[in-house]
Structure 1
Amino acid sequence: MFQNTLEYAKQQDSQDPLASFKKKFHIPKNASGEDLIYLCGNSLGLQPVLTSEYIKEELQDWANLGVEGHVQGKHPWLPYHEFLTKNMAKIVGAKPSEVVVMNTLTTNLHLMMVSFYQPTKTKYKIVIESDAFPSDKYAMESQLKYHGVDPKDGLILWKPREGEELCRFEDLEEIMSENGDEIALLMIGSTNYYTGQSFPLKKITDLGHKYNCKVGFDLAHGAGNIQPDLHDSGADFAVWCTYKYLNSGPGSLGGCFVHERHANNKDLNRFAGWWGHNKDTRFNMRKDFDALPGAEGWQLSNPPILSMAAIRASLDTFAEAGFENLRKKSIKLTGYLEFLLDEMKNDAINVITPRNPEERGCQLSIQVKNADRNLHNKLTDAGVISDWREPDVIRIAPTPLYNSFEDVYKFSEKLTQVLKK
């Protein structure tokens, strides 16, 4: 199906209905003004052209209206987070009432655990994948300590088998069979940052609920990359950032999902703030806390508008492209990358990401035998922006919104050249 030629790559781009979206992003350039090959959307997404326009609108309203911008602005600040909800819900497969943009990922994770990690003397353990993103592991360990549990006892790691890189679902089933009565929470990354493996969210949720456990997911590498179908998965909660595939700028806000079955449960423990309070009486200031229904009820503070404007710019771009269209292109684009890597016939490289497109997003993690960071540095010098992860993996993420088949082809050429050196 694929061909290992530049002409083929250009032909695919000419037939790609999403090809024009590359022009909707600022592409980094080298010192000569030439576009770099940017394949690092899994770490920081590129800036949409719309972003500066959207932020300038809010700066102008702030300059011209001052505090009245909360109600008189072109996009009033008081309900600003609501302008993001519909498009964000589509991206993660949720109902709008189940989604809110707020805080940052790890802050939201801690807030969710206040509500959904309720350990008892006998049911207190947490399961995560063994190579979860470090921040998740740190959060789990600190929550266990907060509840007086030694992490060495309370944290169960879902590990790949010896000699393998990927986690097997049947091994998670075995963990639950042996420890289910002691496990209170499954907290899994939807798409592993290192291997690129995407996990079966609904199967994991059903498994956890079978043993009366709460189930949450970290979508840092999933939101905007795969379709997690959060509502249908039945997960209790999920959290994600927006600066990777969602292109909202470095350190931008996170997102949060709470399944609708928890929407009106005001008995759930939560750390409360005034923006989660009933909108009708929020500004009375003297009312006892009355949680909003749905995910909004976990908000703490009024939203940072300039950051949300950047998110709105990206979400509007996603909405224009259509997430189903993006996912379709992503499967083909990453499939082409995989084909080109196979065509290299180089025993030094090994793709540790699953071959099945349904078990991965756009990222391929390329393990390079006997390599160190110098290989990554040489690729950078050759005009490729990629991502290095110790000890020997280059992460390459052809992002369908702004990467082309030509980008992927040229990367394979440069990788071949660098490896020969």
Structure 2
Amino acid sequence: MSTAHPADARAVVDFDHHSPAFNADPHRAWQELREKCPVAWSENHGGFWVVSDYEGNHEVLKNTDVFTTERSPDDPHYMAVAIPGQPNRETILYPIELDPPNHGPVRRLLNEQLSPAQSRRMLPSIERATTETIDEVIEAGACDLLEDIAGPVPAQVTLDWLGYPQDRIRRAAELFHWLFGYPPSSDEWKQAVASTEVEETLQEVCAARRTEPRDDYISWLLAQEIDGRPVEEEVIVGLCFVLVGGGVDTTTSLTASALVHLDRDRELRQRLIDDPALLVPATEEFLRVYPPLSSTARTVRQDTELRGCPVRTGDRVLVSRYGANYDEKAFPNPEEFVIDRFPNKHVSFGLGPHRCVGAHLARLIFQETMRQILRRMPDYSIDESRLVHYADRGFADGWLSLPAVYTPGPREGSPSSRS
């Protein structure tokens, strides 16, 4: 990893997106950095460039010829999309670590089954999962909105679609929540990093579906080809592992952040209750204001310049989605939540060939979850004294707990689903 300094000493900043100071107020940290120097060099974590404005996001994320997601052969146990590298196993091939042209054939396997039309076909299962999940707590008058609703709904929808065993879905969600939400010093984080449960389960499902295919995504993958050959198991496991992560954490974080926001802005909540159609444009504003993945990283392939700064082969580059979404050059009055902001070209789902393939499905799950909560628990009130943010908000931002009370209501699921 390069430790070369930029030519302009004014571009050197003391910035650490994993420090206690940053985690105390990430928004202010990104804002100050963008205003001071939107492309700057930090000596922390071996040295890296940090890009914190909207234009820089486009320049880096769309140019895979210069800025790659591939992990270094010198450090094969760490995914390069985070700084420092995200710990992972060398034996798994993830689609986010492939750049064009190798990326295209693998990405097609995702695009075909997660298109807008295909995602809409999942609406009945989304509605059913949301109804049944809320049914489990609606009569109690109190629950943890994250643990009991915002977490289980996207996990149930996504993993059931994959073909993941029902009795292991909650455990998969728990492991990813620990990985993103708990500090590296905690037993939960260490257990999540060391665990191979999700990969092993996916391998088991692949083996079972080879002999007995079902109507699920893994069965479909096993029938596909890349360059005239069956899709290799490591590719299937890598694809599905990424989908599990997205299905059990990012949509959960967005929903949790929106629920907290509406608890603090009761007037906005009432507008959404009175006019549920507003939830569609509001979804984009919630995404802009609360990007679940707050940053992503790339590695420089060849010497070049980035906004006048000399970047060299091997340099690491951190791109802030948070910073881009609050860039006043792209979003007038970015600090204000504008329910029907238009245009709203936020970067929360990323840019370029690695843009989140599950964006359409995530929107549908988020909207149905919020719609039912606002209809069935309109007076929910979160206990602010027990709110817990993710311990490290430099890569992913979310909540560990959202304890709330509300007026009890009736179940709405069918008798068979209740049993």
* TM-score (norm. length: structure 2): 0.28
Question: Which structure's relative contact order is higher, taking Cα pairs within 8 Å and 6+ residues apart?
Answer: 2
* TM-score (norm. length: structure 1): 0.28
Mark the structure with the bigger radius of gyration.
1
